[in-house]
Structure 1
Amino acid sequence: MGLNSGKLDRRVQFLRTELFDDGFGNVQGPFEPFGSPVCAARRDVADAEKFAAGTIQATLDTRFTVRSSPFTRSINPADRLTSEGLEFNIIGIKQIEGRNSFLEISCKALVT
């Protein structure tokens, strides 16, 4: 299946929030851009896969592939990403295509 840089045909922006103490515990601030935009490949999960997983929802499940770097390896499921006007919650991150070559980021966006 070999992935190459030519398939990274879109840009994604990662978002991160900071926690601050309001005197009663941690409170989450707004999500702000984190780092520079990164080249990515996008693959929406087919409806058949959604049905097989037992989920029928108004959501868009997507997998983004990015080149592995110290920055992208610092991304975690508490972060979010934006692409083409949609904001995605990060569900999971895994290494693919050999050691430290690419990361696959599984995401979910609400479709309105």
Structure 2
Amino acid sequence: MDGVLEPHNGWTFLTNHARVLAVIADNRNARIRDIAARCRLTERAVQKIIADLERGGYLSHTREGRSNLYRIDPSKLLRHPAEAGVTVASLLSLLVRDEADRHRPVQPSGPEV
């Protein structure tokens, strides 16, 4: 991880589960420590979230030496009735940036609503 991230206070649009899933989608070999830092969570909280995601069938992992390789099931449907029919792949397409966009500054897309 590069540097220490600023703490965040207040409400957000995403759950911690969605954040963890997005970080893993971005780096399938991410360490718990790095996921926790990027999501601004404790390592223990990330471990619990990963266990939840695995129990729900959204995520699995295999050991590769001393690290984990995570696999996300993109066809799995989101759990809340308000997102009926929405897949994990659809969610991640909104959250994970393409490699080409990683180093490009974000440009406003139009007038604010």
Structures share fold, TM-score greater than 0.5: no
TM-score, normalised with respect to structure 1: 0.25
Larger strand proportion, structure 1 or 2?
1
TM-score, normalised with respect to structure 2: 0.25
RCO comparison, higher one (Cα < 8 Å, 6+): 1
